[in-house]
Amino acid sequence: MNNYNNLQIDVKDNIGLIIINRPKQLNALNKETIEELNKAFNALNDDKNIRVIIVTGSGTKAFVAGADIKEFMHFNAQQGQELAATGQELLFDLVENLDTPVIAAINGFALGGGLELALASHIRIASEQAKMGLPEVSLGVIPGYGGTQRLAQIIGKGRAMDLILSAEMIDATTALTYGLVTEVAPAENLMETAFKKAKKLMRNSPQAQALAIKAVNAAYPKAGFAIEKELFGQAFTTADFKEGTTAFVERRKPNFEGA
C-alpha cells in the first residue's frame, strides 16, 4: 500500500489513514501528489474492509499549504486549464463523491488547494493550531479546485466572499463559529479525536452512508464548478498571476496592476 513518493498510508481498525508527506514544502499539492491521492482514495474506497478514510498532513505545521506554487507558476494557460479540469476530477470531485466517509484532520495550515481538499471531505476536524484560508487572489488567481463553490455552500456566501476576496486566514475557533469545521481539538489530541469520530461513524450502515453522501451532494448545483475552471484559466493568462507567484517565490509583496 505504501508505493507512493508523497503519501504515507496506514490501515488500522478498518480505518484508512492518508498522510500527505511533503513536509519541506508544507505538504503542497504538486501534480504527482494529486495523482497519488487519486490512487490512494480509490484503493481505500474499493476496499470494503475500510469503513472511514482520514486524510491529514505530515508534521505539525501544515495540513496542506495549497497547490505547489513553484510548480504551477511555470504552467502556460493551456496547462493551467488542463490541471484545473483534471485536478478537480482526479481529487476534489472524487473525494466529495466517495462512498466511504472522508474525515479531514486539519493539523496546521490548510490554504488554497489544501483547504479545498478539506472542503471536499465529508467532515472537517481542526487542531487548535490550524489556520485556514483561500489566499489565491493574493497570487493573482482564483480558487480553482472547487473552493469558490464549496466554501460558499458550507459557510454561506457572505463569509465565503469575505475570506476569498480578503485572502485572509482564520483560526480554528473562527472556523468552528463559521461551521467550516465541526470540531476543534488540542494539537496533540487531533488524531485521537479523528479516530474517535471515525469509530462513531462505523456504528452505522455503510450502504446507507454511501446513499446519504449521494443524496446530500445532489442538493448542490454543478454549473458553478465549470465556470470556476474557465475563470481560473483566464486568471492564469494575466500579468497579475505572473507577478503574484513570482512575488511569493521572491518573498516580497506583489505589485498588482491598478493596485
Backbone angles phi, psi at 239, to 5 degrees: -65, -30
The residue at minimum Cβ distance from ligand DAK is 112
Backbone angles phi, psi at 171, to 5 degrees: -90, 180
Q: Give whichever of 77 and 212 is closer to ligand DAK, judged by the CB atom.
A: 77
- Taking CB under 6 A as the binding criterion, the range among 23-31, 51-59, 119-127, 207-215 that sits at the site for ligand DAK is 23-31
Min dist. Cβ of residue 232 to ligand DAK (A): 5
Give alpha helix (H) positions in the chain. Answer: 31-46, 69-72, 77-87, 94-96, 113-120, 147-155, 157-166, 172-178, 190-201, 206-218, 223-236, 239-249
Q: Which stretch binds ligand DAK (CB under 6 A): 13-21, 37-45, 132-140, 204-212?
A: 132-140
Member of 66, 90, 127, 178 binding ligand DAK (CB under 6 A): 66
In the chain, the amino acid numbered 41 is: F
Q: Is 113 in the site for ligand DAK (CB under 6 A)?
A: yes
Q: Long-range pairs for 228-231 at CB < 8 Å and ≥24 separation?
A: 228/84, 228/142, 228/143, 228/144, 228/146, 228/147, 228/148, 228/149, 229/81, 229/84, 229/85, 229/88, 229/144, 230/81, 231/142
Among 37, 103, 111, 126, indicate the residue that binds ligand DAK (CB under 6 A): 111
Q: C-beta of 195: minimal distance to ligand DAK in Å? A: 26
136 is catalytic: yes
Q: Does position 164 bind ligand DAK by CB under 6 A?
A: no
Q: Which stretch binds ligand DAK (CB under 6 A): 12-20, 66-74, 185-193, 198-206?
A: 66-74
Among residues 136, 188, 192, 257, which one is catalytic? 136
Catalytic residues: 116, 136
